[in-house]
Structures are given as C-alpha cells and as structure tokens.
Amino acid sequence: MKIHETGFRNLVVIENKFYSDNRGGFTESFNEASFRLHTGQNITFVQDNLSVSVKNVVRGLHYQLPPKGQAKLVMVHRGAAWDVAVDLRVSEPTFGKWFSVELREGDNKQLFIPEGFAHGFIALEENTLFAYKCSNYYSPEHERCILWNDPTLCISWPTENPIMSAKDCSGISFKDYGSDFI
C-alpha cells in the first residue's frame, strides 16, 4: 500500500499493490490493519455501497451531519470516475477548497475521505461501477447536499451536460452551508 498526500489533513489517495501473471491478477482492496497502519486512521467501516452510472452522471456533493457523519473509502471497479471531495471543516486552512482525482478500473487507487467532507463524482464512462465503504450507516435525516456547480466552490467538472437526480439539483449553496464540522 502506497499513500499519496493531497494537501488536506487526512484526505489521502491509496494505491494498492497489484500482482499479475498469466492467469490474471490480484489485489487486496482492503485490509483493516494495513489501512490503520498506513493512514493513522482508527476507523471501522460498517456499510459498503455500489452504484452504477451512465456516462456524465454527477452524484453529490453529499455529506451527513454529526453524529452520523461518514468517512468514506472509494474506488472504481469498472469504468472511470472523476472524484471530488470538498473540505467542510471550518477550522482547517483547506475549508471550502476541493480536491479531485480520477479513479479508473485497474488503477488500484482509492480515495480515503475523512468525516467532514462533502463528496461527489462524475462517471466518465458508460456503466461505471463505483464502490465505497462508509464509517457510519446511511441516515436520511442527517443527509445533506451542496450544489455540484456551486459558484463559490468553482469546481471544474469535466462535463457540460450532467445527468443529475432531482435531489442533487436541489442542494444548498456553499454560502448557506454553515459550520457543521469543526
């Protein structure tokens, strides 16, 4: 496991080793002891989710309020996605800034997103299979959404024709966010 720092506290890109031979390949996508050792995070993941998206689907920017906040470990199993994390921790120098990384089938990369970030992605290919582990259970009453195209954040999404859910289109502006995370 190789850790790539992002400039945001505890937000890291993880690159897993991939072993291949004439039969195919193998990677260990998650090992709790190794994850804790390399990231310094003592997190238990309690829920795994998969989404399948057609090209240009934008999902997010989602987060859950404390005490139901979620850390996430995300990766792409099929296709490709441009993944975005927005820092909502008001005490951090990176508050209101965003980080993005392309995650692609076969690249063995994951993004660890600590609690206190809004998260979203765009599918770059048809039938992109996106997987994520969550440190807390989904809680509809704690779920929130910031507009994907918020003018304050100025996220450079790689699409001109996003496919969105009604829920994601009705997210709040970043200016209306407040201070749910310290």
Could you give the residue numbers annotated as active site? 62, 132
For residue 80 the two structure tokens come to 């490709």
Q: Tell me the backbone φ, ψ of residue 33, rounded to 5 degrees.
A: -65, -45
Q: Can you tell me which residue has the tokens 């804790």?
A: 36
Query: 3-class SS at 35?
Result: helix
User: How many Å apart are CA 13 and CA 112, to the nearest integer?
Assistant: 6
Write the single-letter amino acid at 73.
Answer: L
Which residues lie below 8 Å from residue 156, measured CB to CB, with a gap of 6+? 100
Distance CA 1, CA 8 (A): 19
What are the structure tokens assigned to 79, written together? 């296709």
